[in-house]
């Protein structure tokens, strides 16, 4: 009798252990494969942790949630607006505010490949307005074990022909991925690069993202393909738009959503510095999300960047068809972009 009771207890414990193991396996399998259940292209955003990056990331997440947009599967961090450790902290804050802790984080390069420049800390020393706001409190999200460059390569293999990479900061992680795997860019569906200028008398100095790692920008261009790589220069965004600070504060900033409340805090350092409001990263993300409505003119080009004299300055050849290496956005529409922002950030209220 005692033996039977003992066997029953052992059998019960074994059954419970098997059930626990099965549940843990199913949870792990569901988490690792859930992104594969969503059809369509996958998006990875490589960013440098400023308020402009936060707005762009919110846009992509909102567009996925409310407008049947492509699935954002990962954020990769790099140096830029602030140092990479701060970018990692800001990434966790951004995902917590958006309630998207499922998005994977891969940490990237802390330094440029050779040399860069000091950040101007346009969005504050922490990149998000140097505020004591509740928005800066967050529940930690662990980074994945792979570095950003290796993760980009692996994701390009896993989602060959379906992966969209949006680069919003210096191109260090992208360049490392290209150097480690020369076929990396060929496997992408699209690579959007926010950075650089089209050279003119007005825009005759380096753009911030390009100057932060000139060698990385050069490596990308050496391996660029015009059907995959789209360049979004700040010069063209600024010359196309006449959006005022007043519109940002009174119209977009008055939307009573949690995301806009956070963005108002994140931009409190930058918004007072100009009567204009022109941020490159949100425009770049708008082009990624709905380029047919926002892009007025684009051209094929052979884009280069100087490494020595006038270091970091872009040049473009729009006529040598044999040597085109990228598509470049030449003019963007202001009103459709403003409408897109209002639609995206009002969606939570409907």
DSSP character at residue 155? H
Specify the pLDDT at position 39.
81
Specify the pLDDT at position 38.
75
Q: Count CA within 13 A, CB hemisphere, residue 111.
A: 3
Specify the pLDDT at position 322.
82
Specify the pLDDT at position 5.
56
d(CA 326, CA 197): 14
Specify the pLDDT at position 321.
80
Specify the pLDDT at position 139.
93
Specify the pLDDT at position 27.
52
Burial class (CB in 10 A: 0-12, 13-18, 19+), 282: buried
Question: What is the per-residue burial (b if ≥16 Cβ within 10 Å, else e) of 41-66?
Answer: bbbbbbbbbbbbbbbbbbbbbbbbbe
Specify the pLDDT at position 36.
64
Task: Give 10-residue mean pLDDT values along the chain (350 residues).
Answer: 58 63 53 64 98 98 98 98 98 97 98 96 97 83 98 98 98 98 98 96 94 98 97 97 97 98 97 97 98 97 95 94 94 98 95
């Amino acid at each position: 009798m005692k033996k039977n009771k003992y066997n029953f207890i052992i059998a019960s414990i074994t059954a419970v252990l098997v059930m626990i193991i099965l549940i843990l396996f199913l949870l792990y399998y569901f988490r690792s494969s859930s992104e594969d259940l969503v059809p369509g292209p996958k998006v990875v955003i490589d960013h440098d942790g400023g308020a402009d990056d936060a707005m762009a990331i919110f846009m992509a997440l909102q567009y996925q949630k409310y407008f049947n947009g492509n699935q954002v599967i990962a954020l990769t961090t790099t140096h830029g607006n602030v140092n990479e450790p701060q970018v990692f902290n800001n990434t966790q804050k951004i995902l917590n505010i958006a309630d998207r802790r499922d998005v994977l984080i891969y940490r990237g390069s802390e330094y440029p490949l050779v040399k860069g420049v000091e950040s101007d800390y346009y969005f504050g020393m922490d990149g998000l307005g140097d505020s004591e706001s509740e928005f800066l409190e967050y529940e930690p999200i662990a980074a994945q074990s792979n570095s950003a460059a290796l993760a980009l390569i692996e994701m390009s293999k896993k989602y060959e022909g379906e992966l969209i990479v949006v680069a919003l900061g210096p191109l260090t992680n992208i360049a490392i991925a290209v150097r480690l795997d020369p076929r990396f860019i060929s496997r992408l569906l699209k690579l959007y690069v926010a950075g650089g200028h089209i050279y003119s008398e007005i825009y005759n100095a380096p753009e911030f993202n390009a100057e932060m790692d000139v060698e990385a920008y050069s490596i990308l261009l050496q391996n660029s393909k015009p059907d995959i790589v789209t360049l979004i220069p700040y010069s063209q965004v600024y010359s196309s738009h006449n959006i005022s600070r007043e519109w940002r504060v009174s119209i977009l900033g008055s939307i009573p959503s949690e995301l806009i409340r956070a963005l108002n805090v994140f931009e409190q350092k930058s918004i007072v510095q100009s009567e204009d409001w022109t941020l490159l990263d949100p425009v770049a993300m708008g082009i990624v999300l709905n380029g047919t409505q926002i892009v007025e003119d684009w051209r094929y080009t052979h884009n280069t960047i100087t490494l020595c004299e006038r270091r970091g300055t872009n040049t473009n050849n729009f006529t040598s068809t044999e040597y085109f290496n990228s598509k470049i956005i030449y003019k963007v529409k202001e009103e459709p972009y403003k409408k897109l922002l209002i639609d995206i950030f009002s969606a939570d209220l409907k």
